[in-house]
Amino acid sequence: MHAYLIIAHNQFALLNKLLLALDYPENDIYIHIDRKADAPDFETITAGMRFSRVVFVRRRNVVWGDYSQIACEMELFEAAVNAREYEYIHLLSGVDFPLKSQKQIHDFFAANRGKEFVHFQGQQLDETEREKVDCYFPLQHFIGNQKKDTSFLYCVQRAVVRGQKRIGLKRHRRDDIMFYKGANWVSITGDFAKYLVSCKEEIRRLFRYSMCCDEIFLQTILMNSEFHDHLYYPQFNNDYRMCMRYIDWKRGTPYSFKREDYLELAESDRMFARKFDYEKEPAVVEALLAECRYTS
């Protein structure tokens, strides 16, 4: 059995197509929808599904850069771990899409059983990135992704951070833990997911009031555990092959795939891709769905 964890806040027509692509007898699906989102009802979101069990977790107000992003992911992992045993657990956004059929995906992960598919941007955090972990960002929940040149609260928080660095204040002074960063979209074993959930309180201590650490906490827990030598692709060279995602940062931030990209996607060796915009480019999504949907 596999579990899919999905974080969504918009593009609910695309979310429905994603669920249809993941609908498979050997899958359970757990969904978080941002509390701020004007989402349709359960029946509309899951329309057409026949095989998978779908669970909606408690809706949170998720704010960019804030600890609420970590809390949301942890709640999804915890829901899956507490429900049943899974061989693999995949974390997706609501604008991701599979590039292979579920049989192909299950076969691929079975052939690589025990490997952790986690992306790393590089080796340990540099000084600029360490600020996100070491300092308190007490106003981030109210700032979100407001532009720094228009946000009074952003300026206040930067002054607070500069003050902490000036006096040498740190959120923690542990020398026995190394911090790493990578994409938060991962495919991990059920065993590592259990370990991650068992570290819930430590994660809270390390990362509450941090900044953008949804891209740091899981990589850090993994690399400071016995699972660190189970990586599928251990070269830390910022290659999304590490997590078997197809993500293009050269053409966008990231790039949204279009109809003319279908062949490129279909011929990829990756399992999943992000991102898509069903409102503007429905054809590429429909084409992928037609190829990967389970109908037996």
User: DSSP secondary structure string, 118-153?
Assistant: ---SSSS--HHHHHHHHS--TTHHHHTT--TTT-HH
Q: How far apart are CA 123 and CA 126, in angstroms?
A: 9
The answer, yes or no, to whether residue 236 has pLDDT greater than 90, is no
Query: From edge to edge, which strands make up the β-sheet containing 245-247?
Result: 96-98, 272-274, 245-247
Helix ranges (H only) for 37-83 are: 42-45, 67-83
Identify the pLDDT of residue 189: 98
Q: Where residue 176 falls among pLDDT bands split at 50, 70, 90?
A: confident
Backbone angles phi, psi at 103, to 5 degrees: -60, -45
Other CB atoms within 10 Å distance of the CB of residue 82: 9
Given this model, what pLDDT does residue 149 score?
62
Tokens of 265: 């996607």
Question: How far apart, in Å, do the first and last CA atoms of the chain sit?
Answer: 18
Average pLDDT over residues 223-249: 91
- The residues spanned by each domain of the chain are 2-123+176-292, 136-167
**38-42, 110-114, 128-132: which is most confident:** 110-114
Mean of pLDDT over the chain: 93
Q: pLDDT of 144-153, one tens digit each? A: 887 666 688 8
Selected residue with higher pLDDT from 211 and 296: 211
Per-residue pLDDT reduced to its tens digit, 240-276: 999 999 999 999 999 999 999 999 999 999 999 999 9
CATH topology of domain 2-123+176-292: Spore Coat Polysaccharide Biosynthesis Protein SpsA; Chain A (3.90.550)
Average pLDDT over every residue of 87-108: 98
User: Which pLDDT score, from 0 to 100, does residue 146 have?
Assistant: 75
pTM (predicted TM-score): 0.94
Q: Which residue is listed with tokens 């498979």?
A: 24
Q: Is the pLDDT of residue 170 over 90?
A: no
**Of 20-24, 164-168, 189-193, 234-238, minimum mean pLDDT range:** 234-238
d(Cα 97, Cα 287) in Å, to the nearest integer? 11
What is the mean pLDDT of the segment spanning 104-113? 98
Whether the predicted pLDDT of 291 surpasses 90: yes
Predicted confidence (pLDDT) at residue 135 exceeds the cutoff of 80: yes
When pLDDT is cut at 50, 70 and 90, the band that residue 59 belongs to is very high
Rounded to whole angstroms, the Cα distance separating 259 from 51 reads: 28
CA 15 to chain centre: 15
Distance CA 244, CA 117 (A): 7
Q: Is 261 helix (H, G, I), strand (E, B) or coil?
A: helix
Task: Write the CB contacts of 282 (distance below 8 Å, at least 6 apart in sequence).
Answer: none
